[in-house]
Structure 1
């Protein structure tokens, strides 16, 4: 079995990383969005002239910091969410950008469902926009949210939105598609409305590829794992745990130092997931066995974003200064890194995985 290897991509962003995502087909095609107002497209496994790991294929400049990015219907289509209140479609071959949605405040998250051909955007104007980018004749749905959205993720059949006040709304994607196609402009009610199992603000949410449930993380060093099935038996399986903490010493009064859990990502095949935190570490967890499988060597700065490749062989890690020690004189320039880890064959395999 080939050993695990880890390397940094050449030509990383110049400021903090807001998100990163691998392509749905090509396992070495990676998009990275940054506060430096750009989206970056890399091939993680071809070396550029002059040395260095990976190749920066193209940079797509925006008017304001980019908060999120996702791939669309194929490896050549992407959508970005910006602080300029717009959602843009990016043709990754030609470089052309088209505004597909406008909100009344910065757009925090954007997800695309290939199964339903739906683009869903979540803005700090407390709305979701739902549209079909391949059918512009359909009028986009606008859904008013009861709180400001901070995290969003899509499973094969659901989209999960985590908001302020510990609110979590789950929508059925087929129902959203049917409402959009009807042209009535009327949005369906949430499939489920929940209160987060975590007591503090949600920082990240990730959906299980198996379509069974999701995980959320908070600013207070905790992760919760939950299932969609509302039956008492299924709900009894949900759990939460502490993580990304440093054990207190006598010098600091023996209190644990608690860090935000900034990022979550599920492995596409094994049902395990990775978490990344302000403590500059990444951990692998077995969701079914409720145990930590691995914690990686500490990075130089906070872990801001995580993504597994579609084949599960690679884990992309966005590393940049966090705000854990204050915001004075913040700069990610020269300290922002995109780390690619090639996983060993069983590295991310849970106890019960086949």
Structure 2
């Protein structure tokens, strides 16, 4: 199965989203790269590193390290401010098309939401930790946040004065992504500790966690598990199947009902830092970046003192 590959940035990519048939990739160099079906790339440079992005209609909303959320219209690529403003970097941004809302989560321990059509003060929710991951489920009118305090909170947009439910996170280390199941019956989350968990709201006895994206090494005649961060989760076009990808340069397709790995796609050029799946074209977009800086022991570590490798996107037809 061959991939189409395009170079999009000299820095690490942070998110990957489909805007109709185009891809939008955000990067720590402060850019949004727009990739069309012919692999032509247009770039828009914003005011600060972009940590996440989301799409609403024909507009991209970029979460910036300076605490703001900026909107970029398409195809004009005009950049405008929104009313959202955090005191610290914005880690996550999501949209709720039915309510026409942009929702952001920040390291300042807050979630903000605003209607981008009007410039009014956003609704602000204080949460008990830095927001590391977030997702919105339109059909059930809820959003979920994974926090640095090892808590997971679920809110109902119709009653924002307190969480609709709250759970303790089973992971010891940082959550990287969190996703509602398509039905809203539960959620998946991934972690830097090489684990994924399934949490079901009603059928709790069938919730579970499993290890993945690990490599067996032999060091001094001892078997060692090399734990790779699971950087991303992406839903497939069925209720029970989903993709994971990590710093081991592989993508895995899982079925949470059968508790099995369906397929593994390995040996990509670099760590996989973001995924996007287009359910119309059945294409999986795979963002690859050199994230070897994560292995540095400190600011004076010279082991990573080498030229940056350009980040790329591979596009794979999953139904071919």
- The TM-score with structure 2 as length reference comes to 0.91
Structure 1: distance between partners of 2:71 and 2:22: 17
Structure 2: distance between partners of 1:167 and 1:65: 27
**Is the 8 Å Cα contact of residues 289 and 309 (structure 2) preserved in structure 1?**
no
User: Mapping of 1:1-354 within 5 angstroms?
Assistant: 4-9=1-6, 11-23=7-19, 26=20, 28-43=21-36, 45-46=37-38, 54-56=39-41, 58-72=42-56, 74=57, 76-100=58-82, 101-137=84-120, 139-156=121-138, 157-175=141-159, 187-227=160-200, 229=201, 231=202, 234-251=203-220, 253-311=222-280, 313-322=282-291, 323-326=293-296, 328=302, 329=304, 333-344=308-319
**Is the 8 Å Cα contact of residues 175 and 192 (structure 2) preserved in structure 1?**
yes
Structure 2: distance between partners of 1:269 and 1:312: 15
Mark the CA change 1:203 to 1:99 in structure 2 (over 3 Å): closer, same or farther. same
Aligned length: 311
**Is the 8 Å Cα contact of residues 15 and 332 (structure 1) preserved in structure 2?**
no
Q: What SS class does the counterpart of residue 247 from structure 1 fall into? A: strand
Structure 2: distance between partners of 1:91 and 1:60: 11
Structure 1: distance between partners of 2:119 and 2:221: 58
Mark the CA change 1:330 to 1:292 in structure 2 (over 3 Å): closer, same or farther. farther
Q: Which runs of 4+ in 1 moved over 6 A?
A: none
Q: What SS class does the counterpart of residue 310 from structure 2 fall into? A: coil
In structure 1, the gaps of 5 or more residues are 47-53, 176-186, 346-354
**Is the 8 Å Cα contact of residues 178 and 233 (structure 2) preserved in structure 1?**
yes
Q: What SS class does the counterpart of residue 125 from structure 1 fall into? A: coil
Structure 1: distance between partners of 2:212 and 2:269: 19
Q: Hey, what does 1:178 align to over in structure 2?
A: none
Which one has a larger percent strand, Structure 1 or Structure 2? Answer: 2
Per-residue deviation at 1:174? 3.7
Mark the CA change 1:102 to 1:314 in structure 2 (over 3 Å): closer, same or farther. same
Per-residue deviation at 1:331? 6.8
**Is the 8 Å Cα contact of residues 207 and 266 (structure 1) preserved in structure 2?**
no
Structure 2: distance between partners of 1:332 and 1:119: 37
- The TM-score with structure 1 as length reference comes to 0.83
Structure 1: distance between partners of 2:130 and 2:123: 18
CA RMSD in angstroms, aligned pairs only: 1.9
Q: What SS class does the counterpart of residue 220 from structure 2 fall into? A: helix
Q: What SS class does the counterpart of residue 236 from structure 1 fall into? A: helix
